[in-house]
Amino acid sequence: MTPLLTKYKDVRSQTRDICRPLKTEDYVVQPVADVSPPKWHLGHTTWFFEAMILKPFLQGYIPFNPDFDFVFNSYYESLGARVIRTQRGNLSRPSVDEVNHYRDHVDQAMEMLLVQEVNEQVATLVTLGCHHEQQHQELLWTDIKFILGHNPLFPAYEENFIGKTELPEHPTPVIEVKGGVYPIGFSGDGFCFDNELERHKVYLQDFSISGALVTNEEFLEFIDDDGYLNFAHWHAEGWDWVRNNSVSAPLYWHKIDNRWFHYTLGGLKPLRRDAALGHVSYYEASAFAAWKGKRLPTEFEWEVSSEHFRWGERWEWTESAYLPYPGFKRSPGAIGEYNGKFMVNQKVLRGASLFTPSGHSRNTYRNFFHPHLRWQLTGIRLAQ
Amino acid sequence: MTPLLTKYKDVRSQTRDICRPLKTEDYVVQPVADVSPPKWHLGHTTWFFEAMILKPFLQGYIPFNPDFDFVFNSYYESLGARVIRTQRGNLSRPSVDEVNHYRDHVDQAMEMLLVQEVNEQVATLVTLGCHHEQQHQELLWTDIKFILGHNPLFPAYEENFIGKTELPEHPTPVIEVKGGVYPIGFSGDGFCFDNELERHKVYLQDFSISGALVTNEEFLEFIDDDGYLNFAHWHAEGWDWVRNNSVSAPLYWHKIDNRWFHYTLGGLKPLRRDAALGHVSYYEASAFAAWKGKRLPTEFEWEVSSEHFRWGERWEWTESAYLPYPGFKRSPGAIGEYNGKFMVNQKVLRGASLFTPSGHSRNTYRNFFHPHLRWQLTGIRLAQ
Amino acid sequence: MTPLLTKYKDVRSQTRDICRPLKTEDYVVQPVADVSPPKWHLGHTTWFFEAMILKPFLQGYIPFNPDFDFVFNSYYESLGARVIRTQRGNLSRPSVDEVNHYRDHVDQAMEMLLVQEVNEQVATLVTLGCHHEQQHQELLWTDIKFILGHNPLFPAYEENFIGKTELPEHPTPVIEVKGGVYPIGFSGDGFCFDNELERHKVYLQDFSISGALVTNEEFLEFIDDDGYLNFAHWHAEGWDWVRNNSVSAPLYWHKIDNRWFHYTLGGLKPLRRDAALGHVSYYEASAFAAWKGKRLPTEFEWEVSSEHFRWGERWEWTESAYLPYPGFKRSPGAIGEYNGKFMVNQKVLRGASLFTPSGHSRNTYRNFFHPHLRWQLTGIRLAQ
Amino acid sequence: MTPLLTKYKDVRSQTRDICRPLKTEDYVVQPVADVSPPKWHLGHTTWFFEAMILKPFLQGYIPFNPDFDFVFNSYYESLGARVIRTQRGNLSRPSVDEVNHYRDHVDQAMEMLLVQEVNEQVATLVTLGCHHEQQHQELLWTDIKFILGHNPLFPAYEENFIGKTELPEHPTPVIEVKGGVYPIGFSGDGFCFDNELERHKVYLQDFSISGALVTNEEFLEFIDDDGYLNFAHWHAEGWDWVRNNSVSAPLYWHKIDNRWFHYTLGGLKPLRRDAALGHVSYYEASAFAAWKGKRLPTEFEWEVSSEHFRWGERWEWTESAYLPYPGFKRSPGAIGEYNGKFMVNQKVLRGASLFTPSGHSRNTYRNFFHPHLRWQLTGIRLAQ
């Protein structure tokens, strides 16, 4: 078996593993537009391989079902019409079984293709497809959590799910960095996304950055100091978001009989105060920092100092807007729609979360979301 | 077995029969607010018996799951908080299996209660619950049709589903009725809903009413004469509805390569032109009538003349608004919320449809919907 | 001067009299879609004469400005494109001066036409135009009240405006009417709208109807008994309306330092408790009646009993939906759009209000509004 | 007269000069939320001096009308409740006359204050108030243009308004800049806004920037090449904006009988092809640049190279998001709400436009708008 095929099979089986504890019904629903049905993730990641690799490069490949292009295209305008995003949860068909057959069909064809050496163009696309599927593995975790965590019955994903999200955050010294010109962006031979390039220079002023993430305990102090009620800490748009949505705590937090609980994949549990905070929006992260008299780091400060602190448990909001690096070029064709067309109105997050597949992130990885979103496992690291 | 228990078991098993061909995924989705997930219908009809009968009248009854009140209450303000209607399709749990266990649990308790004679109050409520479940059986049919018929794959409910909706409509003479005072409303001993009472007198002018329903053929003439493009036939609100929703044909009609098809529970089929028209809104019914130089009958004209024509294949739009009859009284408590609170901004439909459970309708039955809705099997009968 | 010309000049000058106390700025704004800028009323009523009479019937008539068709058409699809209703308040031009010149221009042409006898078709249209303008006079009053009454400065229309809306309502005996067949609809030689025809028979059951309108005092009892907080009194749609709009009192009522005030055209004044209630929606009227254990009359009951009570101070909500009378026919052409196309989802009001121009109403007049509206001077009369 | 008073009177009289050609009605309307009624600008700029300077610093000052705080506060949460932004156009009162009296009242009090030397804190606030009023002068121009330019009658602001916006754009060489560390931000003694500070270092890569703005001619080529119809040029959000709003040309452009016109303050005029393009959104600017195979400059590239090209006719979109400079600090109190709370989801524009008051801009000035807005006189300069 070629290393690429091994990699492919590995990634594909991880996706199914994540879904194993689900009931059929859990695969279907889409409680909000940003959360896709697990069934859709299973189909879409498969369609990516079919549309980008099998159709153009495997001679004689017979598509599983031509209508699936319409059902499982996410946002590729160049690849034809598609179900609009908000309608994904309205489709009971294809059934989970059919989607699994689709996966088998594509996996067999991919195996035929990868059993021998492929040219570099195909290899690059397969690698991209694997990373793409890993991104959706993370989304699977967070979408499943949203689906179950917003159900009035609060069902557990697995009763004995070990709350890895519950690790205590240990006191860590602040890191001081001297101003100067620093290199930014990916270098080396491995895989990276196009948005991590070109590697280029950035001038940073002197700054300091916390070695530890903000904890639930610290955020409770913000709440108890009426942080959600005082506009002075907030961006104008953040303040509107707070009031229009009656936000008064991070996502999944519930105050019951005056005690704080939060929904975890193991069910509703008492909040562990010394654990790192998760599931906050950029607006909340920024307001918390302002209340502390500090600020969020830029993505450049984060990247430059990242070797000096432990990261990988939370995606960390930065102050940086998601913009192209100097010299960034969109690829031609559908692949060019992967990242570039989202480079407006979003914020960069750095790091990785406990839901990120191992080996999927690096310190040049640029994640991005709109500032009000918080269904990802997002946290806060302060700078100054 | 008491006759009431027989009736109860009969109705309950019909509900399950309707769902038998469904895949688990089909039970879950809610493509639009008016269409509930089949799973919800199964639970809600069960909850009705639990909340209205078992809890107050069966001593020692242990509710299956106290959270189900929140999940399966439809609109009874007097029975506590509930999942808002538009959120029903966001709930993957309780699963279909759990809902079926809930049905079993309630059925066993109901059997305990009904195995011997019950007092009149309970008997009345059981009868109401059975009629309530029959109403939801009809909704099950139409909601399933909507769910499958709006899926881009157009799956059949049953491949060999005999298109009972396809019966040809035979030419029938027009019925002439003389003006005068007529009795309206239910009389007799059997069951009726509160909105069919009090029986009272109505004066009708001379009128004539068609013995036959409008056919697909006739409606195609309206389309071909640009009926959807000429505001003169339409109410102002109907015209807005047509333009805002780009309506150009009845629901489920598709023009493919210049031929008309429609979705049926047996899949996408060529339109049968001599069959009775279905799935039109009041706005379309009224515009069609105006185009013909005719009008829709009032519900009183319909009731008075109903013995002279065949009915029962389509719910038939009338010109009448849904209003209380003289002397109408809301019952006290939750049962009083059944009908009365909807008596504004809706139109009366008379008759029954091919999806109506047998024995559920009568010529005094008053169905009602908002004028833009057409996912029910609604048709047109003209008057003059 | 012909009587028709006298009538015309009379009506036209009344419109200007209503506007005399306004500042130029008051002519321009449209705080909600239902309230048109006074400037628009001045132009639209003028356009009605120009479009319906001068253009087709006065040879050599030169339109004032061809663009005004676009600006001042209200809802006549057959007369071309138009500014959409919600945009009326976005137009600073034509200025008030220009609109007044437009009125002068049309008045001079109308005088040329009416200085001699005209044929019956024209005479009928002129009469319709005058009644149309009187309808807009009433709207001018209520729209001006809305514009000034929703300004945070609460400016008076006229400081010394005698609150005719403040007349005390005197105790009056209840009227009992025997069941039987009654004639309904306009008869006689004078003017009536098409929706008052055909005169026809209706069967009424025995009923009683109050000789007096509901007073502010009585409605305060409803408020104090938590009438706005108890869903049991309300239609489902009414209850949604109350909660979505946080309604807790009639329009224009303000509770300041625990005392009730209401905005009148003379400014903000203490509420007079013995005056007839005004500015309630159908939902409120119906909820109040339910709370009282009574109901609203039908429009037929109202018409039949109207000679036995004093009316004309409030438009009175009825239980009747706005539907065509038996034999109702839409006129061909633009005039046919006057009434018929609104006959769905609206409620009939009977009577007249203190804002209605004298001579404009009669006991067969059918006013109609959507059930949530209350910027007209709407009141409640109870029946049983 | 002190220099500060001279400056004050100068700025204040310029505001009135801008409004002189308006009709009273033009002061009142608000066609979209972003465009405020001119009357509101007149009042709000006055209120700024009253609230920030006269009330705290002029002993014995009597406010003109305490309700005006509610009417004329724009967005200062720390200064109390206010009319919500979308409601500004619903207020006919205070009238234009009253607002002018308000201006006189405040001007007299300011003159009393400024006739002698004031301390530095007051002097700084007066200067800020003057710059604030100059910002609103520019908004007055663009809001007036929007109000008149969206009226179906297309009235001119002044018939003989010299189209300064029509200056031809001359061919100019491209400027090449070497990479390296550059200083960014305001330095010197004069006035600047807080968002231009701290001055700091930025590393720039080699880049080139056009000496000239994009012309109407060039943009027509984009249109003729179906630029608005090809998603490949657009951000995903830009593409949604194009389709949801049916955008097919810059704001104020109209194609009439196959010829291009645009609305100017002198009325509707044929488009001058060699003039600089104006009234495009960031989305259009970015799509045009992508179509050209170029990009927009960053705000840093723009600032560093600005001495080498002529600027000041268009606000120029940059690729930079509006973010705080390193070391940026919000002032305490209401003044701190001036800029900082808007630093999310907006784009920086550099330069100035032909509507900018002379002396108001500088090459470190950071203007900012949401990416879809185009009622400002916004243009495009390309970089590479």
Q: Which residues pair with A379 in a beta bridge?
A: A316
Interface test mutation site (partner A, options D74, D281, D345, max chain A beta carbons within 10 A): D345
* Terminal C-alpha separation, chain B: 51
| Cβ burial A130-152 (10 Å sphere, 16+ → b, else e) | bbbbbbbbbbbbbbbbbbbbbbe
List chain C residues with CB under 8 Å of D73. Answer: none
Nearest to B304 by CA among B205, B168, B374, B230: B205
Alpha carbons within 13 angstroms on the beta-carbon side of residue A76 total 19
Alpha helices in B73-215 (DSSP H): 96-114, 120-149
* pLDDT classification of D77: cutoffs 50, 70, 90: confident
Among B28, B31, B148, the residue with its CB nearest the CB of A29 is: B28
List of chains touching A (3+ CB pairs within 8 A): B, D
| Cβ burial A254-283 (10 Å sphere, 16+ → b, else e) | eeeeeebbbbbbbbeeebbeebbbbbbbbb
- Cβ distance of B326 and C236 shorter than 8 Å: no
- Cβ distance of B323 and C320 shorter than 8 Å: yes
Q: Is the peptide bond before B94 cis (omega within 30 degrees of 0)?
A: yes
Q: Which residues pair with C264 in a beta bridge?
A: C267
What is the identity of the amino acid at A289? A
| Cβ burial B301-334 (10 Å sphere, 16+ → b, else e) | bbbbbbeebebebbbbbbbbbbbbbbebebeeee
DSSP state of D314: S
User: What tokens does B149 get?
Assistant: 């018929």
Evaluate if residue C222 carries a pLDDT over 70: yes
| Predicted pLDDT of residue C166 | 67
Q: Do A368 and D236 contact (CB within 8 A), yes or no? A: no
Comparing alpha-carbon positions, the chain A residue that sits nearest to B94 is: A153
Evaluate if residue B218 carries a pLDDT over 80: yes
Q: Give dist(CA A244, CA A349) in Å, integer.
A: 25
Give C240-243 contacts, CB < 8 A, sequence gap 24+.
C241/C281, C241/C283, C241/C372, C242/C283
Mean pLDDT of chain B: 95
Q: Give dist(CA B357, CA B262) in Å, integer.
A: 23
Q: Using one digit for the tens of pLDDT, what is the confidence trace for C2-11? A: 999 999 999 9
- Cβ distance of C26 and D93 shorter than 8 Å: yes
List chain B residues with CB under 8 Å of C232. Answer: 77-78, 336
Q: Which residues pair with D262 in a beta bridge?
A: D253, D269
Share of chain D above pLDDT 70, in %: 99
Q: Using one digit for the tens of pLDDT, what is the confidence trace for A86-116? A: 999 999 999 999 999 999 999 999 999 999 9
Q: Using one digit for the tens of pLDDT, what is the confidence trace for D306-359? A: 999 999 999 999 999 999 999 998 888 888 888 889 999 999 999 999 999 998
Evaluate if residue C152 carries a pLDDT over 80: yes
* pLDDT classification of D110: cutoffs 50, 70, 90: very high
Evaluate if residue C103 carries a pLDDT over 80: yes
> Is D99 in the C-facing interface, judged by CB distances under 8 Å?
no
* pLDDT classification of C1: cutoffs 50, 70, 90: confident
Nearest to B74 by CA among B97, B93, B103, B46: B46
Residue B123, burial from CB neighbour count under 10 angstroms (0-12, 13-18, 19+): middle
Q: Using one digit for the tens of pLDDT, what is the confidence trace for A157-169? A: 998 886 665 677 7
List chain B residues with CB under 8 Å of C203. Answer: 181, 201-203
Handedness of CA B7, B10, B13, B19 (dihedral sign): negative
Q: Which helix (H) or strand (E) holds B286?
A: helix B282-292
> Is A359 in the D-facing interface, judged by CB distances under 8 Å?
no
| D vs C contact (3+ beta-carbon pairs below 8 A) | yes
Among D25, D83, D150, the residue with its CB nearest the CB of C152 is: D83
Other CB atoms within 10 Å distance of the CB of residue A107 = 16
Listing DSSP states for D143-198 in one string gives HHHHHHHTSTT---S-TT---GGGPBPPP-PPEEE--EEEEES--SSS---GGG-S
| Predicted pLDDT of residue A289 | 98
Q: Do A5 and A124 contact (CB within 8 A), yes or no? A: no
| Predicted pLDDT of residue A21 | 97
Alpha carbons within 13 angstroms on the beta-carbon side of residue D290 total 25
Listing DSSP states for D33-95 in one string gives TTS--HHHHHHHHHHHHIIIIIHHHSTT---S-TTHHHHH--S-GGG-----GGGGGG---S-
Between chain B and chain C, the number of residue pairs with CB atoms below 8 A apart is 80
Comparing alpha-carbon positions, the chain D residue that sits nearest to C146 is: D90
| Predicted pLDDT of residue B259 | 97
- How close C183 gets to chain B, by Cα (Å)? 11
Sheet of strand D253-256, all strands in order from the earlier edge strand to the far edge: D253-256, D259-264, D267-270
Comparing alpha-carbon positions, the chain B residue that sits nearest to A91 is: B151
Mean pLDDT of chain A: 95
> Is B341 in the A-facing interface, judged by CB distances under 8 Å?
no
List chain B residues with CB under 8 Å of C181. Answer: 181, 203
Q: Do C208 and C383 contact (CB within 8 A), yes or no? A: yes
Q: Using one digit for the tens of pLDDT, what is the confidence trace for A2-54? A: 999 999 999 999 999 999 999 999 999 999 999 999 999 999 999 999 999 99
User: What tokens does B84 get?
Assistant: 């808002």
Nearest to C18 by CA among C151, C114, C161: C161
Nearest to D110 by CA among D96, D94, D125, D97: D125
- How close A156 gets to chain B, by Cα (Å)? 11
Nearest to A111 by CA among A195, A9, A186, A251: A9
List chain B residues with CB under 8 Å of C343. Answer: 235
Looking at residues A300-320, what average pLDDT do you find?
97
Q: Using one digit for the tens of pLDDT, what is the confidence trace for D173-198? A: 999 999 999 999 999 989 999 999 99
CA A327 to chain centre: 25
Q: Give dist(CA C342, CA D232) in Å, integer.
A: 46
User: What tokens does B26 get?
Assistant: 């089909």
Between chain C and chain D, the number of residue pairs with CB atoms below 8 A apart is 93
Give B160 or D323, the one with higher predicted confidence: D323
Alpha carbons within 13 angstroms on the beta-carbon side of residue B124 total 9
Evaluate if residue B98 carries a pLDDT over 80: yes
Evaluate if residue D166 carries a pLDDT over 80: no
Q: How far is CA A205 from each of CA A181, A199, A384, C223, rounded to the nearest angstrom?
A: 9, 19, 11, 64
Among B203, B239, B345, the residue with its CB nearest the CB of C345 is: B345
Helix (H, G, I), strand (E, B) or coil at A168: strand
Q: Using one digit for the tens of pLDDT, what is the confidence trace for C298-357? A: 999 999 999 999 999 999 999 999 999 999 988 888 888 888 899 999 999 999 999 999
Q: Using one digit for the tens of pLDDT, what is the confidence trace for A116-127? A: 999 999 999 999
| Predicted pLDDT of residue A163 | 61
Between vectors from CA B47 to CA B43 and to CA B49, what angle results, nearest 5°? 125
The 3 state secondary structure assigned to B14-40 is HHHHHHCCCCHHHHCCCCCCCCCCHHH
| Predicted pLDDT of residue A79 | 86
Q: Using one digit for the tens of pLDDT, what is the confidence trace for B163-177? A: 665 677 777 899 999
Among D78, D201, D236, the residue with its CB nearest the CB of A75 is: D236
Other CB atoms within 10 Å distance of the CB of residue D96 = 23
Q: Do B245 and B280 contact (CB within 8 A), yes or no? A: no
Looking at residues B285-298, what average pLDDT do you find?
97
| Predicted pLDDT of residue D337 | 83
CA B316 to chain centre: 11
What angle, 0 to 180 degrees and rounded to 10, lies between the N-to-C axes of helices C3-19 and C96-114?
A: 170
Nearest to D381 by CA among D319, D317, D321, D322: D317
| C vs A contact (3+ beta-carbon pairs below 8 A) | no
Q: Is the peptide bond before A198 cis (omega within 30 degrees of 0)?
A: yes
CA A88 to chain centre: 19
Looking at residues A179-191, what average pLDDT do you find?
96
Rg (C-alpha) for chain C, rounded Å, is 21
Among D89, D93, D153, the residue with its CB nearest the CB of C93 is: D153
| Predicted pLDDT of residue B169 | 78
| A vs D contact (3+ beta-carbon pairs below 8 A) | yes
Single pTM value for the model: 0.95
Rg (C-alpha) for chain D, rounded Å, is 21
Alpha carbons within 13 angstroms on the beta-carbon side of residue D236 total 16
Helix (H, G, I), strand (E, B) or coil at A269: strand
Other CB atoms within 10 Å distance of the CB of residue B125 = 19
Among B232, B286, B371, the residue with its CB nearest the CB of C345 is: B371
